[in-house]
Amino acid sequence: MLFRVSSRIVAVPSKNGDDPRNHTNQTQRESAFLELDLTFDANLSCILPSLRSGRSTKTMTNKHRLLLTLLFLPLQLSTAFAARVERLIDTWRPEHYQVNITLNDQLSEITSASTQISILVLKPTQVIDLDFGDLTMDKVSLNSVTVPFTHQKGKLQINLPQPANAGTRLVVTVDYHGKPKDGLVLTLDKDGKPTAIGDNWPDRVHHWIPTLDHPSAKATVTFNVTASPREEVVANGRLDHVGTNANGQRTWTYTENSPIPPYCMIIGVGEFARVDPLPMKLIPISYYVSQSERQLAEKGFSPTIPSLAFFNYMIAQYPYEKLAMIVGATRFGGMENSSAIVFASNLLTRSGPPNMSKTYGIPLGNVSVIAHEIAHQWFGDSVTESTWADLWLSEGFATYYAGLFLQRYEGDDAFQSYMKNAATQVFEYEKKQRTPIFDRDTENLMNLLNENNYQKGSWVLHMLRLKLGDEVFSRGIRNYYQSHENSVASSEDLRLALEKASGKDLRDFFARWIYDSGHPQYELSWQWLAGKNLKVIFKQVQTGNAFLDPVPITITTATGRRDIVLKPTGKDLIQTIPLSEKPINIEVDPQNTLLREARVKGV
């Protein structure tokens, strides 16, 4: 999803101080625990969890496995109970939202709203519990019959007159009004004109739409937005109709027919200048900017059409009906709302850094942020992380595919610089914080917008691409996308897709890079021996477990270069290499194929 303007991210609590609306996925947590293998490092100093895929990670008898499980049961239980609490979607799930919303002429409050939620019951229940902020409630109906409800502490609880069985479909309608404290941002644009723009990540949509506010609770949505006739309205999906009411207001109807995560459900209302670039055969595209920036829109958004074409070729057909690029109110550099992306208000006017795009003539950072948010339409929006711990499947993918776009349109030097900068940010982050990419513990969801999920996630994909080869990696990613399009996916789903495409076992790679923390810090020392041999002493000095990735080194002598691949089996490796001349220089991973730090010294 979000692309940060800089690497400095601060946690922004919800304005009313509510805790996140995320309740324990207990069944998922317990089943994950029951399926854990216990994989030991060489010194039996720690255990690395690795989810099974129908085969054991080590050859081990059932008796040994039971003994080890019992031995480390207290540790596993303490880890399980320390995990972040997330909402479980097991009793009911939303299938469709119809949001009817009327705004006053000043766009300062919701005059009236009615959200109709089509619900599928998954197991017998007598309660529908919605996440909803503190807007004023008017009425709740169940299948068109008014029912009692309880609304407090960010929860709207509806007690059903009688239990609903699995497979039952219900329609809940919530009527309300007022000024949202968050989620729907009511503010002025750069010209001082009022706007109303949705900005929901991570779980703030419930401040203006009653929802099941978790990314895995995907649903289709229809917006009927009524506002002053001077306003332009945009929302997710296809524009179905614009009608003028008896009082002179206009109602705009948009429908998104693909299920999307609730944090992506938005409207944008304001006196926008709408700019339609040259038509693209793929989908309709429009830019929504303040009136004073109308002339800047086409150049400022010039990477849009190439990004769409590139990702359409690299991944799959674009998943939505249109694409709106909106400059407006968001607390982020960009927010990837499905088919209606919102960018920070300074996108088109920010002063460019020394490195400008040689292709588009705009700041290179703007090229990457536009590509990043468009890549999210596939990764994050269409294929959505199944839990917050899988956020890297959204942010890491968008970060890496933005880099691939730079590589294609700005050249390999730009890509290498992009990846080196990403690596530097990871190294700085890990000096202060050591957590796995698959982070089940961080409570403040805003703190997940970190270098682990963005830059390190992108490096994991880069290393997998180099490990598997371009053709196999691309095939695996396409299969992963096609298998989970318009649905959710986990880190294990990605691993299995890449294993199927490559025929390789990637469990150890995922165990170390996704489910464990840190990065390799190599120290290589060497000694020239009398018998024309080179003794290489290769150490990993990082805290924690060894990384077992093969490490290329290049040895330079007076007459040429020689490439060697070291294959660590632990944190220390000593290897003697026949060599006819004394080295002049030795480089570790000279092509930057690994996320690593390295130091070399001769003896």
Say which range, 18-22, 393-397, 403-407, 525-529, has the weakest mean pLDDT.
18-22
- Residue 550 and residue 264: Cα distance in Å, rounded? 40
Mean pLDDT, the chain, as a whole number? 88
- Do strands 92-103 and 219-227 pair parallel, antiparallel, or not at all (unpaired)? parallel
Would the pLDDT of 12 be above 50? no
* Token pair for 112: 């009236």
- So what's the pLDDT on residue 137? 98
DSSP 150-194: EEETTEEEEEEEEEE-TT-EEEEEEEEEE--SSSEEEEE-TTS-E
Would 195 be classed as within a structural domain? yes
Report how far Cα 30 is from the mean position of its chain's Cα atoms.
24
207 shares a domain with 97: yes
For residue range 373-391, list pLDDT tens digits in order: 999 999 999 999 999 999 9
At 371, the pLDDT band (50, 70, 90 cuts) reads very high
For residue range 503-548, list pLDDT tens digits in order: 999 999 999 999 999 999 999 999 999 778 999 999 999 999 999 9
492 shares a domain with 386: yes
For residue range 177-203, list pLDDT tens digits in order: 999 999 999 999 999 999 999 999 999
At 353, the pLDDT band (50, 70, 90 cuts) reads low
533 shares a domain with 481: no
Q: Which residues of 32-70 are buried (b: 16+ CB within 10 A; e: fewer)?
A: bbeebbbbeeeeeeebbbbbeeeeebeeeeeeeeeebee
- So what's the pLDDT on residue 80? 42
Q: What's the Cα-to-Cα distance from 336 to each of 138, 159, 340, 441, 474, rounded to whole Å?
A: 32, 35, 7, 25, 23
Q: Which residue, 513, 535, 561, sits at the end of a domain? A: 513
Would 579 be classed as within a structural domain? yes
Q: Which residue, 64, 82, 100, sits at the end of a domain? A: 82
**The total number of structural domains that make up the chain:** 4
At 279, the pLDDT band (50, 70, 90 cuts) reads confident
Say which range, 76-85, 190-199, 557-566, 593-602, has the weakest mean pLDDT.
76-85
- So what's the pLDDT on residue 49? 34
Q: What's the Cα-to-Cα distance from 577 to each of 547, 550, 582, 599, rounded to whole Å?
A: 22, 16, 11, 19
Would 77 be classed as within a structural domain? yes
266 shares a domain with 187: yes
Q: What is the mean pLDDT of residues 487-498?
A: 98
407 shares a domain with 494: yes
- Bridge partners, 302 (sequence order): none
102 shares a domain with 194: yes
* Token pair for 367: 């090229």
3-state SS assignment for residue 198:
strand
- So what's the pLDDT on residue 147? 96
47 shares a domain with 139: no
256 shares a domain with 142: yes
At 402, the pLDDT band (50, 70, 90 cuts) reads very high
380 shares a domain with 499: yes
438 shares a domain with 346: no
Say which range, 135-144, 279-288, 361-370, has the weakest mean pLDDT.
279-288
572 is in which domain, residue-wise?
Answer: 521-602
344 shares a domain with 381: no
Residue 529 sits in a domain of what CATH number? Answer: 2.60.40.1910
For residue range 17-71, list pLDDT tens digits in order: 333 333 333 333 223 322 333 333 333 333 333 332 333 333 344 444 444 433 4
Residue type, 592: N
Q: Is 107 left (phi over 0), alpha (psi -120 to 50) or beta?
A: left
- So what's the pLDDT on residue 10? 29
CA neighbours closer than 13 Å in the CB half-sphere of residue 555: 23
Long-range CB pairs of 496-501, under 8 A, 24+ apart, other chains included: 496/53, 498/464, 498/468, 498/473, 499/53, 500/476, 501/468, 501/472, 501/473, 501/475, 501/476
Would the pLDDT of 104 be above 90? yes
Q: What is the mean pLDDT of residues 564-584?
A: 95
CA dihedral 198, 201, 202, 203 (to 10 degrees): 0
Q: What is the mean pLDDT of residues 396-422?
A: 98
- So what's the pLDDT on residue 23? 33
441 shares a domain with 379: yes
Would the pLDDT of 100 be above 50? yes
Q: Which of 98, 165, 156 is CA-nearest to residue 129? A: 156
- Bridge partners, 414 (sequence order): none
Q: What is the mean pLDDT of residues 159-177?
A: 97
At 280, the pLDDT band (50, 70, 90 cuts) reads confident
- Residue 580 and residue 298: Cα distance in Å, rounded? 61
- Residue 57 and residue 549: Cα distance in Å, rounded? 17
- So what's the pLDDT on residue 458? 98
At 77, the pLDDT band (50, 70, 90 cuts) reads very low
Would 314 be classed as within a structural domain? no
Q: Which of 566, 592, 587, 568 is CA-nearest to residue 577? A: 566
- So what's the pLDDT on residue 84? 87
Would the pLDDT of 278 be above 60? yes
Report how far Cα 94 is from the mean position of its chain's Cα atoms.
22
3-state SS assignment for residue 68:
helix
**pTM of the predicted model, to two decimals?**
0.87
Q: What is the mean pLDDT of residues 461-472?
A: 98
Would 366 be classed as within a structural domain? no
Q: What is the mean pLDDT of residues 345-365?
A: 89
Residue type, 357: S
Q: What is the mean pLDDT of residues 490-496?
A: 98
Would 418 be classed as within a structural domain? yes
- Residue 133 and residue 34: Cα distance in Å, rounded? 36
Would the pLDDT of 272 be above 80? yes
At 352, the pLDDT band (50, 70, 90 cuts) reads low
